[in-house]
Amino acid sequence: MSNQHLDYDVLSALQEVMEEEYPLLLDTFLTDSEVRLNELHRATDPQQLGQAAHSFKGSSSNMGATQLADLCRQLEERVKHPPLNDIEDLVNRIDHEFAEVRRLYRDERQRFPC
Amino acid sequence: MLAASEPLTVLIADDNMTDRMLLSSIVRRQGHRVLTASDGQEAIEVFQARRPQLVLLDAMMPVIDGFEAARQIKELAGDALVPIIFLTSMTEEQALVRCLEAGGDDFLAKPYNQVILAAKIKAMDRLRRLQATVLDQRDQITRHHGYLLNEQRVAKAVFDQVAHSGCLSSPNIRYLQSPYALFNGDLLLAAFTPSGGMHLLLGDFTGHGLPAAVGAMPLAEVFYGMTAKGYGMAEILREMNAKLKRILPVDMFCCATLLYLNFQRQVVEVWNGGMPDGYLRRMASDEHIPLRSRHLPLGVLSRASFQEKTEVFSMVPGDRLFLCSDGVIDTADSDEELFGVDRLQRVFELNRNPDLLFEDIHAALKAFRGESRDDVSMVQVEMVEPDSLEQPATIYSDSGASSPLNWSMSLELRADTLKRFNPLPYLLQLLQEIHGLRAQSGALYSVLSELYSNALEHGVLGLDSSLKRDAEGFAQYYDQRNTRLNQLKDGYVRMHFLVQPEGTGGRLTIDVEDSGHGFDARQVIARDAEETGLSGRGLKLIRQLSRSAQWSEDGRSACVEFTWEALA
C-alpha cells in the first residue's frame, strides 16, 4: 500500500531484511532525522545546507519517505543557484513533511511493542 | 535473497546511521562479515587495521570525503584489487562519473536495491579473485626466473673451471666472445699438445640456455684430456662425436671447426662439421682460402659412419686463420636480408690491418643491422715460428713416490693395427711415469711422433717426403697417405724401449724399426743441415731434441737416447 508520504511496500521490504532489528531501524531513523533537521536549520553556508539536505535525502529515500526525499532533493538543487532568497520556505516545507512522516513512523513503531 | 558464493569481509562507510544500519543488515543477510565506519578518516583506519575485501563507501562524508578515502584505500591496497562501490543518491551524470574517476569500481544508488547490490558484490568479487590470481602467478614467475638465473650462474661457474686450462690467452690467439656465449651454445677451446702444437675448437651447440650449455662440458673434458695426452685430431674427433651421440638427445648436436696448428711443420689441419666457412689468410698474396664444412656436425653420425678426414694447408709465420659462429652470417637487417658470406668477404678484402679485423667486422655488422649484436663468436689464430710460444708446465697429480727406473718393453704394430691405432698417447703416458723425464715431455713426444710417423709414412707406406715441399704437394701427400693406409696389407713398425738408471739419473733408449725400403740416412742428414722448410723427415729435429740420435745405414731403424739427472 502506498501513500504519498510513506511507501509501505518499502517498509515491508525493510521489515524482511531487518527482521527483529526492524523496530531499531525505525528508532534510529527517527533519532537520526532530528539531527539532520537541526543541521538544516543551523547551516551557515550554502555548502553545509546542501550537504545536510543530501544526507537527509539519502536516508529518507531508503526508508520510503518519498515526498520528504524529493523535498530534500529540491533543496540540494536550489542551494547551487544563489541568491537563496526563498530557501526558508523550502526548509519549512521539509519541517512539515517530516512532522507528518514522523507521526506515521510512530504508528508503525506501535506495532512492535518492546 | 541471493547468497554469496564465499563470505567476504565488507567495510561499510556512511555518515548516516540509518543507512549504515540498513546496509549492514542487507550485506550480513547475504552471508558476509560487516565492518562499519562513520566518516572517511575512520574508513581509512578500519581498512588499514582489518583489510576487508570489499568497500561500500558513501561519497559525501565529513572529515575526509568518500573520494579522498577511496584514493587512500586504493593506495593502501597496493597491487591487490579491493573493489570500492560508491553509495550515492546523486543523480547527475557528472557526479556519477566523478565516483568512477576517483577510483571507484562501481556505484550503488539510494534507495538501496538488495538484488542489485548482491549482483554487484558478486561481480566485484570475481574481479578481485582474478587480480589475486594474476599477482600470484606474477610472483611465481619471478621466483622461477630467479631460480633459472641462479642455475645458469652455477652452470657457468662450473664450466669456467672445466675450460680454464685452455691456452686462449696465448699471444697468437685473438678472440671475441659474449660472456653469455655458453648459453648461446657457443664454445671456444684451445690447448697445447705435448709436442708444442695447438688444438683449437670453435663449436656451436643447438638450442639455447642450459640445454645448449650442458653438452659443452663433456666435450671440453674430452678435448682437453685427450689433447694433453697427445692424441691426434682424428682420435679426438671420433671420441667427441661418439660421446655427444651417446649423451645428447636425438635432435641435439654440435657444429664445430677443429684446428691443429703444427708449428714445427708450419701446417694446419682443419676439420669443419657444419660451421660457417673459416678462412686462411695468406699475408704474402692476400688470398683468403675458405675452410669449408665438409662434414656433418658432431653427435649426428654413428661411430661407423663418422668421417674424421682433415684438410691440410701449409702456412708461414704471420698467416692467420679466422673462424666465426653463424651469428655473423645470420645477422639480419630490418628487411630480413642476411649479412651473408659475400659481405663478410668484402670486409676481409677491405681490411688493411689484420689486428683490427674484429673491429672491421663489428662495424660492418652494426652498419648493416643498425645495432650491434652481442652473441657472435670470432677467433683469429696466427702461425708463428716454432718454439716461440711459451707453454705452461704440465701439472702432475701424483706424489712422485712410484717411478719405474729399470725396465724394457718391445712392441710390434702390424698392418691392421697401424691402420686404426695410434700408440703414441699410451707410450707417452707410460714414459711420463718416469719423473726424471717429465721436464722433457715436450721433446720426448715430438721425437716419438717424428720417429713413428717416419716409420709409418715413409717406411711402411713408402710416401715420398719431398712431396711436402709446397702447399699443393701437402694436400696430395695426405691424400696418398690415407689411400695407402686404407689399402695396407703387410708391414710393421717395431718399437723397443729400454730404461736404465745411470749415475744419479737415468737413460731412455728408443729403437724404432720399420718394414719399409729404407733411405740413405747420411744423405738426408747432410741435406737437412742446409735446408729449412716444410719437407724432410725431421731428422734434424730429432737430433736437436734428444741426447743422441743415430740411423742404420739402410735407414730402416733409428736409435734415440734421452738422459736425465736426479731431481733436486
Determine the pLDDT at residue B196.
86
Average pLDDT score over residue span B218-226:
91
Confidence of residue A105 (pLDDT cuts 50, 70, 90): very high
C-alpha cell at B352: 688493411
**Cα–Cα distance, B237 to B127 (Å, whole number):** 61
For B16, the closest of A13, A19, A55 (CB atoms) is A55
Average pLDDT score over residue span B350-361:
85
CATH number for the region B165-382 comes to 3.60.40.10
Determine the pLDDT at residue B396.
64
Question: B9-135: CATH homologous superfamily?
Answer: Response regulator (3.40.50.2300)
pLDDT over threshold 80, residue A90:
yes
Confidence of residue B356 (pLDDT cuts 50, 70, 90): confident
Q: Is residue B240 within 8 Å of residue B308, measured between CB atoms?
A: no
State pLDDT tens for residues B114-142.
889 999 999 999 999 999 999 999 999 99
B231-247 burial, b for 16+ CB within 10 Å, e for fewer?
A: bbbbbbbbbbbbbbbee
Whose CA is closest to B447, among B192, B191, B196?
B196
**What are B324's strand-pairing partners?**
B378
A61, B19: Cβ pair inside 8 Å? Answer: no
Burial of B264 from C-beta contacts in 10 A (0-12 / 13-18 / 19+):
middle
Residue A1 lies in a domain: no
B-chain residue closest to A66, CA distance: B111
Q: Does A2 touch chain B (CB under 8 A)?
A: no
In CATH terms, B407-564 corresponds, of 1.10.10.60, 1.10.580.10, 3.30.565.10, 3.90.228.20, to 3.30.565.10
Mutation test of the interface with chain B: which of A9, A17, A60, choosing the one with the most B Cβ atoms within 10 A?
Answer: A17
pLDDT over threshold 90, residue B153:
no
**How distant is the Cα of B54 from the closest Cα of chain A, in angstroms?**
21
C-alpha cell at B198: 695447438
Average pLDDT score over residue span B29-41:
92
> Is the ipTM here above 0.95?
no
Determine the pLDDT at residue A1.
47
Q: Which residue has the higher pLDDT, B411 or B65?
A: B411
Parent domain of A47: 8-110
**Cα–Cα distance, B382 to B403 (Å, whole number):** 39
Distances in Å between the Cα of B516 and the Cα atoms of B81, B454, B519 are 90, 10, 9
C-alpha cell at A10: 518499502
pLDDT over threshold 50, residue B3:
no
Q: Is B543 left (phi over 0), alpha (psi -120 to 50) or beta?
A: alpha
**Cα–Cα distance, B109 to B95 (Å, whole number):** 12
Amino acid letter for position B93: E
State pLDDT tens for residues A65-80.
999 999 999 998 888 8
Determine the pLDDT at residue B400.
59
Residue A3 lies in a domain: no
Give the domain CATH number at A86: 1.20.120
A21, B18: Cβ pair inside 8 Å? Answer: no
Determine the pLDDT at residue A84.
79
Structurally, chain A folds into a number of domains equal to: 1
B19, A28: Cβ pair inside 8 Å? Answer: no
Q: What is this structure's pTM?
A: 0.67
- State whether the Cα torsion B495-B501-B506-B507 is positive or negative: negative
Size of interface A-B (CB pairs under 8 A): 55
**Cα–Cα distance, B236 to B222 (Å, whole number):** 7
Q: Which residue in the block uniquely carries the three cell numbers 543523480?
A: B91
Q: Does B89 touch chain A (CB under 8 A)?
A: yes
Mutation test of the interface with chain A: which of B15, B22, B38, choosing the one with the most A Cβ atoms within 10 A?
Answer: B22
pLDDT over threshold 80, residue B536:
no
A-chain residue closest to B62, CA distance: A51
**How distant is the Cα of B23 from the closest Cα of chain A, in angstroms?**
10
Q: Where are the domains of chain B?
A: 9-135, 165-382, 407-564
C-alpha cell at B124: 566485484
Q: Does A1 touch chain B (CB under 8 A)?
A: no
Amino acid letter for position B153: R
Average pLDDT score over residue span B69-93:
87
B-chain residue closest to A52, CA distance: B60
Confidence of residue B423 (pLDDT cuts 50, 70, 90): very high
Amino acid letter for position A106: R
> Which is it for strands B54-58 and B9-13: parallel, antiparallel or unpaired?
parallel
Residue A2 lies in a domain: no
Determine the pLDDT at residue B568.
52
Q: Which helix (H) or strand (E) segment is B269 a member of? A: strand B267-273
pLDDT over threshold 70, residue B567:
no
State pLDDT tens for residues A41-58.
888 888 888 888 988 998
C-alpha cell at B5: 558464493
Q: Which residues of B touch A10 (CB under 8 A)?
A: 111
- State whether the Cα torsion B188-B193-B196-B199 is positive or negative: negative
Name which of B200-204, B276-280, B333-337, B368-372 the model is least confident about: B368-372
Q: Is the peptide bond before A83 cis (omega within 30 degrees of 0)?
A: yes
Q: Does B144 touch chain A (CB under 8 A)?
A: no
Whose CA is closest to B30, among B47, B57, B6?
B6
B22, A57: Cβ pair inside 8 Å? Answer: no
**Cα–Cα distance, B505 to B223 (Å, whole number):** 34
Q: Which residue in the block uniquely carries the three cell numbers 701446417?
A: B267
Average pLDDT of chain B?
86
Q: Is B189 left (phi over 0), alpha (psi -120 to 50) or beta?
A: beta
Determine the pLDDT at residue B133.
95
